[in-house]
Amino acid sequence: MANSIFSKEMQDQLKELKGQLSKGRDTTSPDGEDQKPTEPVSMLSQKQVNKTVKQLDSEHIDDDKVLFMQAMHGVNQLDDNNVRSPANAKKGRKPDATTLSKRAAAQGKEAADIGAGLSDMQALLNPVAGEAYLSYKQPTLQTKVFTQLKQGKLRWYDAVDIHGCTIEEARAAMTQLLSQAKQNNETMVKIVHGKGSEAILKTCVNGWLRQLPEVLAFCSAPPKDGGNGAVLVLLKKSKTDGE
């Protein structure tokens, strides 16, 4: 890219125009050497002169502006990373948990029944670390099945991400997920709780699930399913009408 905002052709034309305008002035340079006389105007076509003058006039470029543009040559505008684009803002939302918590509030007798006896205090009295591996099973569950759960060999059917939720929203979303699984006769779900420095939601999920009789077992997910930031939950099968 050139060092001037003008093309080489325009620069040459400007030099010649300036020479004609300065004709009759002192042609002695600051160094004391005589400059060559400028060429006559006839050497430039009238069309070229008019074109150059028109370009300069349309741009309203004065000497200060020329100097500023030359000084700013090579300076690139920096992106402002503090401005969040609409696409990123949309990506950061957690609609699944919000939808489930609202649905639990609107519909939810069965979801309310599942979460009716949950104690937040009991859960919070047993904090877990963000990187802790969660593991729980009821005594009646076969060890073989629990091993398959820990190895990630059991398929989960539905999931919810409660990142960014309040404790109340997270509880409602979790109980609604379990209620839907029960209605659909699904026995495996995944809850993404995250880790965080204090791991509040992870602590709550760990405590809530231990209080629910519908939960046969749960453990932290394998790496491909979220690792220690998520938990796989094994539920009791729903009773059929024939049972």
Instruction: Specify the 3-state DSSP secondary structure of 158.
Output: strand
**What tens digit of pLDDT does each residue of 173-220 get?**
999 999 999 999 999 999 999 998 889 999 999 999 999 999 999 999
Question: Rounded to an integer, what is the distance from CA 4 to the centroid of its chain?
Answer: 40
- Whether the CA torsion 89, 90, 92, 97 is positive or negative: it is positive
H-type alpha helices, the chain: 8-21, 46-59, 63-71, 86-91, 95-107, 109-115, 120-124, 143-150, 167-183, 200-211
In sequence order, the β-bridge partners of residue 234 are 188, 217
| pTM above threshold 0.75 | no
Amino acid at 36: K
CATH level 2 (architecture), domain 93-235? 2-Layer Sandwich (3.30)
- For the chain, residues classed under CATH 3.30.1370.110 are 93-235
Instruction: Specify the 3-state DSSP secondary structure of 188.
Output: strand
**What tens digit of pLDDT does each residue of 8-22 get?**
666 676 677 666 655
